[in-house]
Chain A
Amino acid sequence: MTPLLHVNSVAKRYGAHIGCLDVSFDLYPGEVMGIVGESGSGKSTLLNCLAGHLEPDEGQVVFDTRQNGPQDTVTMSEPERRLLSRTDWAFVHQHARDGLRMSVSAGGNIGERLMAVGDRHYGRIRAAAVDWLDRVEIAEDRVDDRPTAFSGGMQQRLQIARNLVTGPRLVFMDEPTGGLDVSVQARLLDLLRGLVREMGLSAIIVTHDLAVVRLLADRLMVMKSGHVVETGLTDQVLDDPQHAYTQLLVSSVLQV
């Protein structure tokens, strides 16, 4: 099987400071990988390098495109990369405001991404928007409201709907449940899990919340100071951590 994403020796430096160094992994279709580590460990830098938001200084990020098979997204042209980020890729930001257009209605936020890939039929776009609002559990009668009128949890679900409407194959998520209260988090996790299974999505989730990765991620990558210190099956890494830092991370979680 061809990996959906093949990452080879990716590095990003900020001057003398290391963002991330020598990161390599393969992600296969349908797999969900979690990246955990404390603030400043380089996990968001890595995610941004993978998603084309930052240009890595070294390494390849090879994505298995629908048309042309595996392509290095670091060296491909900007229009090609933009097309990928509108079609096969999705990016869920920690703050929904960064991923939504706050002055456009909820329906418009979802429809915009469809229009960006060439859909022009108003009725069809609106029907898709309503369908997606329903899938993320937002009532249909809110379709014309702006996200500014939504709660934090609703905004996050709207951002997810906007991202998934074009049927992407790879979703990047940066702390998708951060800043939400726990009951809203649980609802969002349940929703994400269902969507991942139904749509056969692959996902890379950056978070510092080990409970989130235990429920969502098949595999785990642990980062510290820009380096990957441990990788493996999620439950194996959490229940039998090998590296000193992972042991510290796991044992530092407060039990409820």
Chain B
Amino acid sequence: MTTSHTPMIDIRDVSKSFILHNQGSALIPVMEGATLAVSPGECVGLVGASGAGKSTLMRLIYGNYLAASGQILIGGLDVASAEPRQILELRRSTLGYVSQFLRVVPRVATLDVVAEPLLAVGTPLEAARDRAATLLAQLNIPERLWSLSPTTFSGGEQQRVNIARGFAYDYPAMLLDEPTASLDAQNRATVLGLIAQAKARGAAIIGIFHDEAAREQVCDRFVDVSAFAPRAAA
């Protein structure tokens, strides 16, 4: 797919600081002038030392952190100034996020955890479960576990359930936080395949990969977030 001229994700001059009211109102600037655009079908890798702000930037894009200034345009919606219901709709239909941690309601079966993003956009139950089953099988989650809640699974299994859930629905924009960390070779190859498929269908992707080989394989270019570090306070 050729990349179009309109970026799917367009971040302009975003800054972020935390004010800790209960610790002497300390003001901690963590990001300044973050600017980055990702076109459909493109995968951009965020790089930079630990603590440089890779995850912070991902959270800002997802609307999980509130930007202090700047614009975060996803499919034309400015996450930095949007209403909660607009962001919720964006997360349902446009912007997916595979975080490092699985957070689910206890007791819900794994198959339904994975199918949920599809149900949220109105996919019929059977079709959603079929897709969920395909992904779980691809990621080597044994079928006998599908009816159980993933809360009791091992860390690696939870991570794969999380990935299956993140890829169940074809989001036009995706954020991937360490999707291949601690996976064995086979599962890692599966995940890289899912990312390649998502790119091929035109998804704009921003990812954090500590795994260098994986990074080189799926990313089209890299952005060093150290460049967005706030200038040292004078």
Chain A residues near B (Cβ < 8 Å): 28, 31, 186-187, 189-190, 193, 197, 214-215, 218-219, 231-233, 235-236, 239-240, 242-244, 247-248, 251
Residues from chain A with a CB closer than 8 A to the CB of B119 are 197
Contact between A233 and B65, CB atoms less than 8 A apart: no
Contact between A240 and B66, CB atoms less than 8 A apart: yes
Cα-based distance from A247 to B105 in the complex (angstroms) = 24
CB distance from A228 to the nearest CB of B (A): 14
Contact between A215 and B64, CB atoms less than 8 A apart: no
Of chain A, the residue at the smallest CB distance from B120 is A197
Contact between A239 and B65, CB atoms less than 8 A apart: yes
Kindly supply a per-residue 1/0 record for chain B positions 111-130, scoring 1 wherever the CB is within 8 Å of any chain A CB and 0 otherwise. Answer: 00000000110000000000
Cα-based distance from A31 to B84 in the complex (angstroms) = 10
CB distance from B166 to the nearest CB of A (A): 16
Contact between A190 and B105, CB atoms less than 8 A apart: yes
Contact between A215 and B63, CB atoms less than 8 A apart: no
Chain B residues near A (Cβ < 8 Å): 18-22, 59, 63-66, 84-85, 87-88, 103, 105-108, 119-120
Of chain A, the residue at the smallest CB distance from B19 is A242
Of chain B, the residue at the smallest CB distance from A194 is B108
Contacts A215-B105, A236-B63 aside, 20 further interface pairs with beta carbons under 8 A come to A190-B107, A190-B108, A197-B120, A218-B84, A231-B84, A232-B84, A233-B63, A233-B64, A236-B64, A236-B65, A236-B66, A239-B59, A239-B65, A240-B18, A240-B66, A244-B22, A247-B20, A247-B21, A248-B22, A251-B22
Of chain B, the residue at the smallest CB distance from A197 is B119
Residues from chain B with a CB closer than 8 A to the CB of A187 are 107
Residues from chain A with a CB closer than 8 A to the CB of B105 are 186, 189-190, 193, 215
Of chain A, the residue at the smallest CB distance from B16 is A240
Residues from chain A with a CB closer than 8 A to the CB of B107 are 186-187, 190
Residues from chain B with a CB closer than 8 A to the CB of A190 are 105-108
Residues from chain B with a CB closer than 8 A to the CB of A186 are 105-107
Q: What secondary structure prevails in chain A residues at the interface with B?
A: helix
Report 30 cross-chain contacts, Cβ distance below 8 Å, ordered by A residue. A28-B85, A31-B88, A186-B105, A186-B106, A189-B105, A189-B106, A190-B105, A190-B107, A190-B108, A214-B103, A232-B66, A233-B63, A233-B64, A235-B64, A236-B64, A236-B65, A236-B66, A236-B84, A239-B64, A239-B65, A240-B18, A240-B64, A240-B65, A242-B19, A242-B66, A243-B21, A244-B21, A247-B21, A247-B22, A248-B22
Cα-based distance from A81 to B82 in the complex (angstroms) = 34
Residues from chain B with a CB closer than 8 A to the CB of A214 are 103
Residues from chain B with a CB closer than 8 A to the CB of A248 are 21-22
Residues from chain B with a CB closer than 8 A to the CB of A218 are 84-85, 88
CB distance from A190 to the nearest CB of B (A): 5
CB distance from A136 to the nearest CB of B (A): 14
Cα-based distance from A174 to B216 in the complex (angstroms) = 52
> Which of the listed residues B65, B105, B107 has the most CB atoms from chain A within 10 Å of its own CB?
B105
Residues from chain B with a CB closer than 8 A to the CB of A239 are 59, 64-65
Cα-based distance from A235 to B59 in the complex (angstroms) = 10
**Interchain residue pairs A-B with the least CB separation, the first 7:** A244-B21, A186-B106, A240-B65, A233-B84, A219-B84, A190-B105, A190-B107
Residues from chain B with a CB closer than 8 A to the CB of A251 are 22
Cα-based distance from A28 to B88 in the complex (angstroms) = 12
Of chain B, the residue at the smallest CB distance from A243 is B21
CB distance from A1 to the nearest CB of B (A): 9
CB distance from A212 to the nearest CB of B (A): 11
CB distance from A5 to the nearest CB of B (A): 13
Cα-based distance from A189 to B63 in the complex (angstroms) = 24
Contact between B87 and A233, CB atoms less than 8 A apart: yes
